[in-house]
Structure 1
Amino acid sequence: MDEIVKKLAGLGLPGVILVILTVTSGGSSAAVAAAITALGGPFGIVGGIALLGLITVVGDAVAGYGLEAIVNAIYKERSKTESVQVLLQEIKDLPISDELKLKLKNELSPENFTETQEI
């Protein structure tokens, strides 16, 4: 088991996702291939493998800069081309802490949100 764990750990987050896909699919290689194909959407298995690679890049960025900095930068960039009201509603529905929602809303909105206002 130690050898398998070392190899999967070398893959990083995609390795963890592969283990989860394997377990949830009952260990069938055909089911794992189907799950990766489903992840790839219209691009099939190639898209699924590319998505696993993208997860690695995103995971490295989050590890380097932190989730708050990455999400904040994404919403600042999106606010240049999208409605701030739409983004604020989107932030409200994100599965993140209320503290992070408050910080993101304060960065986007000219009015300051307080902890007593609806997040």
Structure 2
Amino acid sequence: MEKIVSKIAALGVPGLVLLIAISATGLTGAAAITSALAALGPFGMLGGIATLGVIGLASQGIVEFGFDSIFTAVVKELYKKGESKESILEKIKRYPVSKALKRKLREELDKIS
């Protein structure tokens, strides 16, 4: 059951994004879809389709692993790739997340050797 719900949620988010983009165009029919897809990503409609795919993958990951786990993994990966703890702390300060999550991310960063 959980897998079905996560698949529906992953498909639902790109659909909502496309629906909002279509309504923002002020057009109807095929022209609205074409304009919305072109506006969503670089390189016209193909970029818009790719953007919706990336949104679907990101939402799938959030549904499957949780927002906190993904942010924690990103912080660890930044450190593995050679960023200093100071630069990662600056990024954490700028993240648009709750104070509790920022505190958790700082704690995770302190645990890293």
TM-score, normalising length: structure 2: 0.75
RMSD: 2.2
Q: Within 2, Cα distance between the matches of 1:99 and 1:44?
A: 39
Aligned mates of 1:87, 1:56 — CA distance in 2:
27
Q: Which residue of 2 is the match for residue 70 of structure 1?
A: 70
Higher relative contact order (CA 8 A, sep 6+): 2
Q: C-alpha displacement at 1:31, in angstroms?
A: 5.7
Gaps of 5+ in 2: 1-8
Q: Distance in 2 between matches of 1:31 and 1:85?
A: 46
2:41 corresponds to: 40
Q: How many residues align?
A: 101
Asked if 1:102 is matched to 2:103, the reply is: yes
Q: CA deviation at 1:15?
A: 0.6
The letter for the 2-side match of 1:102 is: R
Relative to structure 2, which stretch is displaced further, 26-35 or 56-65?
26-35
Question: Following TM superposition, by how much is the alpha carbon of 1:32 offset from its aligned partner in structure 2, in angstroms?
Answer: 5.0
**Mapping of residues 76-95 of structure 1, within 5 Å:** 76-81=76-81, 82-95=83-96
Q: TM-score, normalised by structure 1?
A: 0.71
- Give the alignment of 1:5-84 within 5 angstroms: 11-28=11-28, 30=31, 33-41=34-42, 43-81=43-81, 82-84=83-85
Name the one with the larger helix percent.
2
Structure 1 consecutive aligned stretches of length 4 or more whose deviation exceeds 4 Å: 28-32
| Residues 7-45 of structure 1 deviation map (CA, whole Å, 9 limit, x = unaligned) | xx894101100111122222455465344334322x332
- Same amino acid, percent of matched pairs: 42
